[in-house]
């Protein structure tokens, strides 16, 4: 069960990241209060913050169930999925170096969880 909670927290965090990227891509964001408030009220950004909030709540259960030295590095698996999803949904490029990074991240998580 604790692994399901970890996976759910990670999947929801990934959804949050994707919505935040979508939301910020469609607005004109400037470092002033009016622009920031307007950005926060953008539906995609609101969804992104919502998903991040749910993920953070679930992450509390993960932190309770796993040593921090295992839980936090496992969270880096989200980087792998975000890399591929950003290529699919935002047409971001994939390169040999990015694939090498994915391999190293995955290998590190496997080693830490053993």
Res. 4 pLDDT band, cuts 50 70 90 = very high
**Which pLDDT belongs to residue 49?**
94
Burial 87-98 (b: 16+ CB within 10 A, else e): eeeeeeeeeeee
pLDDT, tens digit, 9 for 90 and up, residues 6-17: 999 999 999 999
* Among the ranges given (40-44, 51-55, 98-102), the one the predictor scored with the smallest mean pLDDT: 40-44
């Amino acid at each position: 069960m604790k692994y399901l909670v970890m996976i759910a927290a990670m999947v929801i965090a990934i959804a949050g990241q994707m919505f935040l990227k979508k939301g910020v891509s469609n607005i004109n964001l400037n470092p002033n209060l009016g622009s920031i408030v307007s950005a926060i009220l953008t539906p995609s950004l609101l969804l992104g913050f919502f998903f991040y909030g749910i993920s953070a709540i679930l992450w509390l259960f993960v932190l309770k169930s796993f040593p921090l030295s295992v839980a936090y590095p496992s969270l880096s698996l989200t980087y792998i999925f975000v890399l591929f999803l950003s290529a699919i949904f935002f047409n971001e490029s994939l390169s040999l170096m990015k694939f090498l990074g994915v391999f190293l991240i995955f290998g590190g998580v496997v080693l830490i969880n053993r």
